Amino acid sequence: MSEHLATHTGFKKYYHLMRPHTLTAAFVPVLVGTAAARYFGPVRFDLLIVMLIACLLIQAATNMFNEYFDYKRGLDDHTSVGIGGAIVRNGMSPQSVYNLAVAFYIVAAILGLYICASSSWWILLVGMVCMAVGYLYTGGPFPISWTPFGELFAGFFMGFVIIMITFYIHTGHTHWYPALMSIPVSINIGMINMANNIRDRVKDKASGRKTFVILVGKRIAIITMAILYFISFAVILYITFAKPYGSLFLLLVLLSANLPIKAVNRFFKGDKPLELMPAMKVTGQFNTLFGFLLAIGLYISAVLAI
């Protein structure tokens, strides 16, 4: 049996329920937002840690809501690939998955209060909107995941919004620089979502979903992915040589350039969900490596500039 269809017990079933390959979308924006803030002054380590934990909890809870609502709508069974499998394979009740997601949201909200007390209470409103989007992605009467806008919502809220919040809690103001840096991060996070939709396109179409991938077809979706990955690197190249914040250290991201090429090639070659899982895994790996390299390049540049 494939590892993607295996049954898990104990800690492993909770680990897979959180869908760890997607959690890169939670911590990369926090690291990039913090590194960008370093240009404008010192950063607070306590806020970095609390923000990281809160974002990871929200992302994990979003994955649990996804597991719960897709099961309730009859989309998942024991043959479904890419899910945590907590309900259909590992024996957890739907209600326990839902309750765990709510518990994660509550803890994230408590951590958010600490962040607000240390920065601004406006962050509370923005955070509540982000949490609502996480819930409504698969929950509610009109789930975002059933529309062509899933990639846009994922990239905007997990990329741009989280980077701007992180930058703000360290500096006390907003700036065009972190907004510019958020473009490639937002794209790469959106592509994790698109990879998921490419893999699940057959079952999604049968369920009535109208994702971007279903509307344009697999080939056009993969070409779109390739173009957007190119734009990610193009934005970094532009910033590298732009003033006043350009730095050659940003070119560290080029060390990750082989991964999007590998992902695109694997998506073209594979067709069935199990065949496409390796390609989807590479999109998460790319977001992680690109994000780490970008954060390191930003931080080094900021330290040398001050």
Please list, residue by residue across 133-164, b when 16 or more beta carbons sit within 10 angstroms of its beta carbon and e when fewer do: bbbbbbbeeebbbbebebbebbbbbbbbbbbb
pLDDT of residue 1: 42
DSSP-assigned letters across all residues of 53-119: HHHHHHHHHHHHHHHHHHHHTT---TT-SSS--TTTTT---HHHHHHHHHHHHHHHHHHHHHHHHHS
pLDDT of residue 76: 64
Per-residue tens of pLDDT for the chain, all 306 residues: 445 455 656 677 777 788 887 888 899 999 999 999 999 999 999 999 999 999 999 999 998 898 888 888 877 665 666 656 677 777 788 899 899 999 999 999 999 999 999 999 999 999 999 999 999 998 888 999 999 999 999 999 999 999 999 999 999 999 999 999 999 999 999 999 999 999 989 988 988 899 999 999 999 999 999 999 999 999 999 999 988 888 999 999 999 999 999 999 999 998 888 889 899 999 999 999 999 999 999 999 999 875
What residues does each domain of the chain span?
9-305
Please choose, from the candidates 144, 61, 136, 69, the residue with its C-alpha nearest in 3D space to the C-alpha of residue 102. 61
| CA distance readout (Å), 200 to 80, 81, 97, 225 | 9, 8, 22, 16
Phi and psi based region of residue 173 (left: phi greater than 0; alpha: psi -120 to 50; beta: remaining) = beta
pLDDT of residue 21: 78
Q: Which residues contact 152 (CB under 8 A, 6 or more apart)?
A: 190
DSSP state of 188: H
CATH entry, 9-305, from 1.10.600, 1.25.40, 1.10.1060, 1.20.1740: 1.10.600
CB 211 within 8 A of CB 143: no
Q: Prior bond to 20 cis, omega within 30?
A: no
